[in-house]
Amino acid sequence: MKEVIKEITDFLNLRIPVGGKEVDITIKTVLFLIIGLILVKILLKYLKKLAKSKLEQEDKNKFDTIFSFTSWLAYVVVFSIALSSAGVNLSAILVASSALLIGIGLALQTFFQDIISGIFIILDKSVHVGDIIELDDKVGRVEEIKLRTTRAVTIDNKVLVIPNHKYLSNSLYNWTQNGTTTRESVTVGVAYGSDVALVKKLLMKAASEHPKVYQHPAPLVLFENFGDSSLNFKLIFTLNDSFQAAIPKSDIRFKIDELFREHNISIPFPQRDIHIVDAKGLRFEPPKKNNQKEIEGKEEGNSKEELNN
């Protein structure tokens, strides 16, 4: 029995060379590390289940994102503690790989910046799944918020992957944070002398008859300004889906053009008056060089003397 125990002990104390005496790892250390990681995994799984049972569905998705990052940190901490408890000199490993760690740290600077930004986004609830956001002149509907990136889909069904650090360094426009309805507008100019009351009536009709335009609040027409070539109006209306706003706005423009044609209201274009000056009788004389001026001066003097004679 003692021989069996001795053999098991000798096997557990068998060293696995890694890079020197100070960083040799025994079989016992490996087993201790595996058991520790398994216990941490079971504990984290239990804590995750316990926490998610008291959260709403949207908060559950955010909790999964943060919990995944926290789990990796827990594994790293347990890994370090297990090696240190087993007698492994971690300082030797860190000193040996210090140059490599500095390079990795510089390379992962933006990576960790994205992660910290992702945690801020999830905690302060500035962006939710389903929100329509505008960032760097790009508009998309948020489909998934991860710890490092946010995935959105544009109106032409292209996937937009946004690094989370952009939320901290750029201005973010959340179109739907105050609700799904948004106010949209269409601008149009009419010729001077047009019946502005009729123009307002036709613009209201074009918006009110569209099925996707809300009647409450009702569409609004603003007489914006007296332009250089036209009287400028803005038609304002409310839509329930601003993500698809380009389609109803196009329909309303078609309807405005149709109504204006029926009522003989013209949409002007910029015009300019060109005045052509009659150049008949004008003579262009190129600049004279110095020697030419002297010759002409002599000829003019000779001609004056001949006249005097």
**In this predicted structure, what is the pLDDT of residue 61?**
64
Decide if 126-174 and 182-262 have a common fold.
Answer: no
H helical segments located in the chain: 2-12, 27-52, 57-85, 90-96, 98-107, 109-124, 166-169, 196-208, 246-262, 290-308
- Which pLDDT tens digit goes with each residue over 10-21? 666 666 655 555
Q: What is the mean pLDDT of the chain?
A: 76
* 194 — pLDDT class (breaks 50, 70, 90): very high
* 307 — pLDDT class (breaks 50, 70, 90): very low
Residue ranges covered by each domain of the chain: 2-96, 126-174, 182-262
CATH of 126-174, one of 3.40.30.10, 3.40.50.620, 3.40.50.2300, 2.30.30.60: 2.30.30.60
C-alpha to C-alpha distance for 5 and 78, rounded to whole angstroms: 29
- Which pLDDT tens digit goes with each residue over 124-157? 777 888 888 888 888 888 888 877 888 899 888 8
- Which pLDDT tens digit goes with each residue over 258-303? 999 999 999 988 767 677 766 555 554 555 555 555 545 555 555 4
User: DSSP characters for 128-173?
Assistant: -TT-EEEETTEEEEEEEE-SSEEEEE-TTS-EEEEETTHHHHS--E
**In this predicted structure, what is the pLDDT of residue 62?**
63
- Which pLDDT tens digit goes with each residue over 75-120? 777 777 766 665 666 665 555 556 556 666 666 677 777 777 877 7
Q: What is the CATH number of domain 182-262?
A: 3.30.70.100
Q: Kindly state the tokens that stand for 261.
A: 């044609």
> Which whole number is the average pLDDT over 28-37?
76
- Cis amide bond preceding 217, omega within 30: yes
8 A C-beta contact, residue 165 and residue 113: yes
* 35 — pLDDT class (breaks 50, 70, 90): confident
**In this predicted structure, what is the pLDDT of residue 300?**
52
Classified as helix, coil or strand, 269 is: coil
C-alpha to C-alpha distance for 10 and 4, rounded to whole angstroms: 10
